[in-house]
C-alpha cells in the first residue's frame, strides 16, 4: 500500500528535537526526508549519550527514523549550491537555525522560493522570525520556564514544592507537532494554488498555546493557576492517591463516575452529600473530600483497588515507570516497540507512531541513519549528480 505522503520530498535542515520531531512524523507518513548534517559532527544529539547503541546516542535514535542523512557544509560556496539544488527539488524545507543564519548564506526563504515557488519553508525558532526577541536563542527548559509551564508543574507550595520541568522536552515536541500540522495545511493549500508559503513556528508561542484550560482558567476566572501536584484545577477527585503498597491515579470526570467511585470505596453516602453533589461543590470542598478518599484507599493494595474500580469502569490506573510501560504485555499487544536494522547492522528499537491510518499506514522503513550514510545516493537520485561531481564536492569539503 502507498503511504499518505509518499509523493512529498522534505529537506530537513533542523537539528536537536523540535524540527527533527516534525520531520520524523512526516517520514512516518511516507515522505522522503533528507536530513542535512554537518560533515564530521552531524546533529548535536548524535553526541548526547550515554546510553549508546553502537556509535549512536539513544537521544538521536528517538527522533530520526525514516530519514536519509546527507552531509553538507553550508558555510562553503559549493555546499550552499548543493542546498539550493536540493531545495529546487523539494516540497518542504524545515529548519531551526538561529534567526538570520540562513540569510547570511543566501539560503533564506526568499532566495529558495525564487528557485522553487512550490516550496514550503517551515522555520522553528525560540521567539519567532520577526519579534523583538527574534535574535535570542532558546532551549526547551528555558521555554518551559518562561512560557508558564513550570509555574503549574510540581507539588503545591504548601507541600514544599517548587517549579518543575516536565520529564521530557515537551516544549520542543509540541512545537514539532504544531509544525507538522502547519506543513500539512500548507501542502493542502499548495494543492489548490500551486504556491508554497513560509511558516513561522516559535517555541515560546507554542508553549503558551498548549497550556489550554489553564490559560482559560486565568482569562475567564482572573486567578493565576498554581502548582497542584497531580491534582486537576477543574475536577475532583482527579489526582494520585497512596494505597497500602503504592499509589494509583483516579480520574473522575463527571457526577456519574463520582457516584460509582464512592460505591467502590464504600463511601456511597458522600455522593449524596450536598458538599459533594456536583463538581462545583467538590471543588469548593476539595480538601475534605480528598482526605476521606485518601484514608479509604490507604486501607488496601493498589491491585485490589484497581480491580474494584475497573469493575465499575471508574477511570483509574497504576503509576507505571517506563520499564513497566514498554516491557508490559500491553506494549506487546499494541506493538509499541518496533525494531529496525541500521546501516551498521545494529538492531535499533523504536517506539511506534501512535497513529493508525486505515489505507495509508505509517511506515517503518528506515532506522535512524548513520552520519552521511546517504549522501551519494540522494545527490544521484534527487539531483542527477555524477560520480565525478560528487567526488569533486567531497574533495573540496563541501559534503
Query: Which phi and psi (to 5°) does residue 248 adopt?
Result: -145, 165
80 preceded by cis ω (within 30°)?
Answer: no
Specify whether the CB–CB gap between 180 and 25 falls below 8 A.
yes
Catalytic center residues: 172
C-alpha cell at 232: 486537576
Cα(30)–Cα(2) distance, rounded to whole angstroms?
8
Q: Helix, strand, coil shares of the chain as percentages rounded to 5?
A: 45, 15, 40
The size of the chain, in residues, is 399
Query: Which phi and psi (to 5°) does residue 378 adopt?
Result: -70, -40
Strand order in the sheet with 9-13: 67-71, 32-37, 9-13, 92-95, 120-125, 198-202
Cα(116)–Cα(91) distance, rounded to whole angstroms?
9
> DSSP letters along 306-317, please?
HHHHHHTT--EE
Task: Quote the radius of gyration of the chain (alpha carbons, Å).
Answer: 25
Centre a 10 Å sphere on the Cβ of residue 216 and count the other Cβ atoms it contains. Answer: 11
Cα(6)–Cα(298) distance, rounded to whole angstroms?
54
Specify whether the CB–CB gap between 373 and 346 falls below 8 A.
no
Grid cell 520542543 is found at 172
What is the signed CA dihedral for 318, 324, 327, 331, rounded to 10 degrees? Answer: 30
Q: Residue 56 pairs with which residues in a beta bridge?
A: 53
Amino acid at each position: 500500500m502507498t503511504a499518505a505522503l509518499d509523493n512529498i520530498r522534505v529537506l530537513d535542515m533542523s537539528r536537536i528535537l523540535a524540527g527533527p520531531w516534525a520531520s520524523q512524523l512526516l517520514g512516518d507518513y511516507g515522505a522522503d526526508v533528507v536530513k542535512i548534517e554537518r560533515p564530521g559532527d552531524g546533529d548535536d544529539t548524535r553526541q548526547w549519550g550515554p546510553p549508546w547503541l553502537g556509535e549512536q546516542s539513544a537521544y538521536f535514535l528517538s527522533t530520526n527514523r525514516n530519514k536519509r542523512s546527507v552531509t553538507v557544509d553550508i558555510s562553503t560556496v559549493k555546499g550552499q549550491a548543493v542546498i539550493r539544488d536540493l531545495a529546487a527539488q523539494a516540497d518542504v524545507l524545515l529548519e531551526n537555525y538561529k534567526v538570520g543564519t540562513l540569510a547570511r548564506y543566501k539560503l533564506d526563504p526568499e532566495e529558495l522560493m525564487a528557485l522553487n515557488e512550490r516550496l514550503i519553508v517551515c522555520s522553528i525558532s525560540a521567539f519567532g522570525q520577526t519579534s523583538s526577541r527574534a535574535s535570542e536563542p532558546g532551549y526547551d527548559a528555558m521555554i518551559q520556564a518562561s512560557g508558564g509551564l513550570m509555574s503549574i508543574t510540581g507539588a503545591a507550595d504548601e507541600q514544599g514544592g517548587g517549579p518543575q520541568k516536565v520529564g521530557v522536552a515537551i516544549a520542543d515536541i509540541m512545537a514539532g507537532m504544531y509544525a507538522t500540522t502547519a506543513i500539512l495545511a500548507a501542502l493542502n493549500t499548495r494543492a489548490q494554488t500551486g504556491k508554497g508559503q513560509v511558516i513561522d513556528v516559535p517555541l515560546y508561542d507554542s508553549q503558551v498555546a498548549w497550556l489550554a484550560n489553564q490559560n482559560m482558567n486565568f482569562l475567564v476566572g482572573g486567578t493565576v493557576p498554581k502548582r497542584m501536584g497531580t491534582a486537576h484545577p477543574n475536577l475532583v477527585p482527579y489526582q494520585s492517591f497512596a494505597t497500602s503498597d503504592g499509589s494509583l491515579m483516579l480520574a473522575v470526570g463527571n457526577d456519574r463516575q463520582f457516584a460509582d467511585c464512592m460505591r467502590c470505596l464504600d463511601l456511597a453516602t458522600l455522593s449524596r452529600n450536598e458538599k459533594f453533589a456536583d463538581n462545583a461543590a467538590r471543588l469548593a470542598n476539595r480538601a475534605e473530600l480528598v482526605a476521606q478518599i485518601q484514608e479509604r484507599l490507604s486501607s488496601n493494595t493498589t491491585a485490589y483497588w484497581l480491580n474494584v474500580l475497573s469493575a465499575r469502569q471508574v477511570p483509574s490506573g497504576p503509576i507505571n515507570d517506563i520499564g513497566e510501560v514498554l516491557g508490559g504485555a500491553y506494549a506487546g499487544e499494541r506493538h509499541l516497540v518496533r525494531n529496525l536494522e541500521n546501516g551498521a547492522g545494529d538492531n535499533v528499537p523504536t517506539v511506534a507512531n501512535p497513529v493508525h491510518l486505515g489505507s495509508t499506514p505509517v511506515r517503518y522503513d528506515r532506522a535512524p541513519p548513520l552520519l552521511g550514510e546517504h549522501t551519494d545516493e540522494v545527490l544521484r537520485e534527487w539531483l542527477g549528480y555524477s560520480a565525478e561531481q560528487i567526488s569533486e564536492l567531497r574533495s573540496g569539503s563541501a559534503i
